Chain A
Amino acid sequence: MLDYLKERAGLVDMDATHVQEILVSISRQEENEGQLRVRRLELLLNTRILLSEVKLYNGEISASAKILRRALEIYRQYSEGKILAENAQEAEADIDIPNRDMGRKETVAAPAKKGGGNTKDNISQSVREDYEASKPIKELQMKEQLANWEYRNVPGPYFWLKLKTLLTRLLWDQIRLAEVDSLTNALENECNELNAQGFLRQVLCIRGYSAVQRGDVNGVIDSFERARKISLMNNYDDVKLAEMLSNYAVFLHERTHDEEAIELLKESHDLYN
């Protein structure tokens, strides 16, 4: 750290007391710059969320989804260090650019080759060897990236979850169920990794609604019950829970489980009060 700061300050021969003061001042300045950068990027993301809301209330759902996709893409690029600063002209114009299908790339499995297990084994062996060979390089790249303050000072991962959850909800509004399913699967893993129970509940609710559209009865019950359990465990007794419970009650009523539906509605009613 000291070497790095000395190099940064360009100090060669100076009085020891002055060096210390300057080093402290530089490290403080860098900390402040880092905090400011995080706040700036957070405000940029929040503005994009607000803009997507405005578009949504104006009835432009596609434009709203496009803005959220753009925000996700920018967040990813910042965190990977691919961009260090947005172009001011682009930032203003990106709202009107045609949809580039960002984030919609679905991973297509390579077609399986016919002709015995040997070929398959050879392929998996070569893939494993490639991975082992590239492992140290990847670790080195990661260490290099983490050494630079630009890469460390980005908004926290909860922003990522927030953006992705909003996008998933929006896609569900458009009944794009295939995309919703792939996003909810990815989000569930990310929420579990970060132990973000609040977001996990929202994701499970969206998955439940998606399962209703698909007619997957087990999926609906599983999702809603898990979401309900998370809410009870973490005391998330809010309007969102009430909304979910009433929707769940309607679903059960349609399946002639009236007693359970009435219980859920009572619970939901209590929450609204």
Chain B
Amino acid sequence: MKICVLNGNPEPSDFDEYVAQFSVRATEKGHSVKVLQLRDMDIKYCVGCFGCWIKTPGECVAKDDSAKVCRTVVHSDLLICASPVKMGQVSALMKKTLDKLIPLVLPYFTVREGEIHHPQRYEYTRDLAVLLQRDGADEEDFAIIEQSFRRLCINFDSSFRFLKLTDEPVEEVVDALTAA
């Protein structure tokens, strides 16, 4: 399985070591893992200009590393959003990167799961999972984060796979990759 891990850790910490360990163990199990260290990339804020829909379809008009993020996400079987919890949600670094995935959908409307959503630009979709470092967050926070990412899954026509915490041994996360 091709796995794209977006590491939204804004400052170097043990979290990066956990993500690196995950990458090693998952590779040993035969997966192909690409970790994108978002804090080392030049990712500009989405300014809501619609340019990726009406000027340069499928690409952000601001030339930055979000192009690399988009290309890797498009070709992954599983996207893992990995981040320490900051004020009850994934980091601002992760959030600004997620905003830049909008080129992967079309501006039009379609009906999915009884609601209005955007059609996908690419014919293939991927599963989505969340890996979090607790950082003072509680069960209510995790439930809200999962709820947000389950919504995101409907929009990207993805299946939600799991939400895991770095409290658990890294093997648990690797095992979750193949769990039904």
A binds B: no
